Amino acid sequence: AAESPSSREQSTPRKLMRWQSMRPPRPRCTSGGLESSWTRSAVLRTLAAAGFALTGGGTQRAALAAYTIVPTGTVAEKQARLAEVGKLYQMDPSNPYVFGEKAQLEYDIRQLEANAAFAQNLRSGLEAERSHFLQRLAVPVDDIEGALNFWRNGLGALVRSTRIVDGRNVTVVGFGPESLRAVDGAKFSVELVSAPTSVEGSQLQYIQLAMPVFRLSQAMAYGGDIKSAYGWTDLVAPGGTPLRVRIDETRRDPFEFAALRVSNLKAAVRHFEAFGMSAGEPFGKRKLSLLGNTAFEDRDAFEPDRELGATLMSYGDPEASTGVLLLPPLARKAVPLSPETRLFVIGSPGAGGTSSSVVLSPDGLPSVFESEPMLEARLLSEAS
């Protein structure tokens, strides 16, 4: 079957990131009189054709840089490799693979420098107790092996740590380091907790990702249960985690938000605001469109649908960090919550009027608050 627009390795530029004003570079290759515009996804396609691995579980070619969904590594490493590739480019500027790697390295260096500045500003805000950062979401999965295989090879995520807790496998995946002290760090992560049941039908409705590269065929090959795939993809990962994936090259971190069903929207908004989050405009009513490629006016076919009244809660710029999308209740009864599901937040919970490091939402969802040094200690413990 043909892949949908959302499944192709393409980009859909919309707007400049507020965390970094530069768009991905568009170097030109003039050999043969042709000029090519390159984005991250285009370069990744070229490198993939040359045999580079794009996922967390692949085998890299010897002595060549590893390419991930978003730039990882250090600026020094990228600059050293760029010097080598620059010499190869001077020898053969018509080689598309050398040209592609050169363009990618130049782009990665700029992105890593911007990411380092973001992380440093975040740390300064945390030290001054004026910032928070949503750092991790723990979710239960009823097939840890299948879930891990999918996240690594179907989505290209990296394994950050694996440990056994109370006899259960707990594996953390993300698209870069979680540490705020790393040049490529300050990335959100998902903690996969082996459990008898998954999150399906619980308070966590889905996780939304905005990725520069996503292949529907790859997701299906590693167990993704595709529900729909026109413009954007609605699927359930092995282990039972619902996901929505759209194509976007502008995000610093592919994790966009976790969508939570609440029993009282106003109470939930007040709760998260009390602990430092800002509320975006509730998703408004839609008008039918007689023209265009969407059923409603002012809607993007490549943007996943949101429910009427859905409210995005975020710490700082939602373009640069992961948020929580609060979904209005569908019934008056309380929404079930799986015991393994919890949020991890870096920053002080003091604004909410409690000294406890664990705060429960009106629907019982725990948020674990930690300081930045506590985060570093936890990451060190998890890696040992």
Tens digit of pLDDT for each residue in 114-149? 999 999 999 999 999 999 999 999 999 999 999 999
136 and 82, same structural domain?
Answer: no
Domain assignment present for 10: no
* pLDDT the model gives residue 19: 46
Portion of the chain with pLDDT greater than 70, in percent: 77
350 and 302, same structural domain?
Answer: yes
Give the helix/strand (H/E) hosting 170.
strand 168-174
* pLDDT the model gives residue 201: 86
Tens of pLDDT, residue by residue over 232-262, are 999 999 999 999 999 999 999 999 999 999 9
* pLDDT the model gives residue 103: 94
User: pTM above 0.95?
Assistant: no
177 and 300, same structural domain?
Answer: yes
Check pLDDT > 60 for residue 90. yes
Mean pLDDT of the chain: 84
109 and 191, same structural domain?
Answer: no
* pLDDT the model gives residue 287: 55
Quote the CA–CA distance of 214 and 255 in Å, as a whole number. 13
Last residue of a domain, one of 76, 99, 126: 126
Check pLDDT > 90 for residue 265. yes
User: How far from each other are the two terminal CA atoms of the chain, in whole angstroms?
Assistant: 45
152 and 73, same structural domain?
Answer: no
269 and 224, same structural domain?
Answer: yes
Last residue of a domain, one of 126, 149, 172: 126
Domain assignment present for 1: no
As a whole number, mean pLDDT of residues 284-305 equals 63
Quote the CA–CA distance of 186 and 195 in Å, as a whole number. 28
96 and 218, same structural domain?
Answer: no
Domain assignment present for 6: no
Last residue of a domain, one of 74, 109, 126: 126
167 and 108, same structural domain?
Answer: no
As a whole number, mean pLDDT of residues 157-177 equals 97
The model's confidence at residue 267, banded by pLDDT at 50, 70 and 90, is very high
Tens of pLDDT, residue by residue over 272-284, are 999 999 999 998 8
Quote the CA–CA distance of 334 and 351 in Å, as a whole number. 26
Check pLDDT > 60 for residue 57. no
For residue 113, the enclosing domain spans 17-126
**For the chain, what is the domain count?**
2
379 and 292, same structural domain?
Answer: yes
Quote the CA–CA distance of 103 and 384 in Å, as a whole number. 36
Domain assignment present for 258: yes
Using alpha carbons only, what angle is made at residue 220 by residues 39 and 52, rounded to the nearest 5 degrees?
40
Q: Tell me the two tokens of residue 346.
A: 């870096």
Domain assignment present for 102: yes
List all residues 6 or more positions away from 16 whose beta carbon is below 8 Å from its beta carbon.
23, 250
Residue 334: Cβ within 10 Å count: 14
Residue 63: Cβ within 10 Å count: 7
Domain assignment present for 11: no
Domain assignment present for 12: no
Quote the CA–CA distance of 101 and 110 in Å, as a whole number. 14
